Amino acid sequence: MTCIVGLVDGGEIYIGGDSAGISGFDLRLRKDSKVFVKDEMIFGFTSSFRMGQILRYNFSIPPHIPKKDDYTYLCTDFIDSLIACFKEKGYARVNNQEITGGTFLVGYKSNLYRIDNDFQVGMTRDRYDACGCGENYALGALRAMEGKIKDPKDIIMNALSVAEYFSCGVCTPFTILNI
């Protein structure tokens, strides 16, 4: 289910997402957005609405110690706190000592990151990224639009529209926020 698209433009971070709640072949359009701003971060999630609720309402973003660069902070303090929160709320899954969670994009200090199911923190060389079942369609659209469309919200809207056209797990209305 889902397509989440993130884009960095001139120091601002934009994230857009669809409204599909999918279970097998069943579709429910959700009012609760998959995209939100919390403190100094912007999030867009896939995987589970429960995971998104934990991120939004239970997860306390740890303070960023100034001596750590942003990436080190995210890979250590942020992820360690996230795993602890997911465990406490019963969301993290442990199998053979391997802990798994879910996938989401997070924007922080003019950079876009992807947190994967194994809690790795990814940062693409492109100024955009996507996740969810529509991500490959969105990434193709983003690449094709490079340098052709200037407005970041239009870029994200077009990428989400392409994902919706090709993926049965992506559905309007779309939400686009920025910080």
Over the stretch 119-132, which tens digit does the pLDDT of each residue have?
A: 999 999 999 999 99
Q: How confident is the model at residue 97 (pLDDT cuts 50, 70, 90)?
A: confident
pLDDT value for 55: 97
Phi, psi torsion values for 45, nearest 5 degrees = -120, 155
* Predicted confidence (pLDDT) per residue in 45-80, tens digit: 998 999 999 999 999 999 999 899 999 999 999 999
128 phi and psi, to 5 degrees?
-145, 165
Q: Do 177 and 35 meet the contact criterion of CB atoms below 8 Å apart?
A: yes
Give the chain's domain count.
Answer: 1
Residue 104 pLDDT grade (very low, low, confident, very high; cuts 50, 70, 90): very high
Q: What's the pLDDT at 41?
A: 98
**Residue 108 — pLDDT band, cuts 50, 70, 90?**
very high
Cβ atoms of 19 and 44 closer than 8 Å: no
Mean pLDDT, rounded, for 25-47:
93
CATH number, domain with residue 127: 3.60.20.10
What value does the mean pLDDT take over residues 69-96?
A: 94
> Distance between CA atoms of 108 and 153, rounded to whole angstroms?
18
The share of the chain scoring above pLDDT 90, in percent, equals: 87
Average pLDDT over residues 144-152: 93
Give ∠ CA 43-39-178 in degrees, rounded to 5: 50
Q: Is the pLDDT of residue 23 over 90?
A: no
Classify 81 as helix, strand or coil. Answer: helix
Quote the pLDDT of residue 8.
Answer: 97
Q: State yes or no: pLDDT of 164 exceeds 90.
A: yes
- Residue 55 DSSP label: I
Round the average pLDDT of the chain to a whole number and report it: 95
Span 121-148, mean pLDDT?
Answer: 96
User: What is the Cα–Cα distance from 112 to 45, expressed in whole angstroms?
Assistant: 13
Q: What residues make up the domain containing 53?
A: 4-178
Measure the CA–CA gap between 116 and 84, rounded to whole angstroms: 16
Bridge partners of 111, per DSSP, are 108
Question: What's residue 174's pLDDT?
Answer: 97
Confidence of residue 94 (pLDDT cuts 50, 70, 90): confident
Whether 150 contacts 111, CB under 8 Å? no
